[in-house]
Amino acid sequence: MKRFRFSLERALAVRRTQAEAERARLEPLLQAYSALDDELEARCAERDQCWLTAAPGTAPDLAALAGAERYRHYLAEVTARLEERRRQLAAQIDAQRAALIEARRRQELLEKLRARRRREWEAASIRELEELAGDAYRARLHGSRRAEKSQILGRILGQAGE
């Protein structure tokens, strides 16, 4: 009985490596997105706090208010750039997830084929064992019949010689 051998084992190993590589490419994108999200949240909180602290008053307060207005404008620009970068990163993540899904799909196809071939091999092995067992039984049965015939023949010849 032969050992199980899947002829596409190397291809399956390549597919596994490709899927792992795609997953590895996704990880830094997800980390960058999380860091960007945290930074955006901090900038939005800073912008909101800046709006809350601006209260009109005296002339010196107006100068401070103008400076605060410029700072709020700066924060709005930074926030807009961060949101744009987050959208771009989200698009990259979606593309990378699609690549990962495709790589896993190709890997799973080969794994299913391997499992099917393994089941076929196991069924053939069972059939082969059953045939061998049947042959052994028939040989044993044939051998015991031959022994019975020899004993009967020996008795007959032994009685004839008496």
Report pLDDT digits (tens) over 128-144.
989 988 888 888 877 77
Identify residue 11 by its one-letter amino acid code.
A
pLDDT of residue 160: 56
Q: List the domains of the chain with CATH numbers.
A: 9-122 (1.10.287)
pLDDT of residue 13: 96
Q: What confidence tens digit (pLDDT) does each residue in 70-103 have?
A: 888 888 898 899 999 999 999 999 999 999 999 9
pLDDT of 52 strictly over 70: no
Torsion sign, CA atoms 27, 30, 32, 38: negative
Mean per-residue pLDDT over the chain, rounded:
85
Distance between CA atoms of 140 and 128, rounded to whole angstroms? 18
Q: Which two tokens stand for residue 74?
A: 């700066």
Of 143 and 22, more confident: 22
**Nearest Cα to Cα of residue 116 among 2, 11, 7, 16:** 7
Q: How many CB atoms lie within 10 A of CB 128?
A: 12
Question: Rounded to two decimals, what is the model's pTM?
Answer: 0.66
Distance between CA atoms of 115 and 110, rounded to whole angstroms? 9
pLDDT of residue 11: 96
Angle between helices 9-53 and 59-161 (to 10 degrees): 160
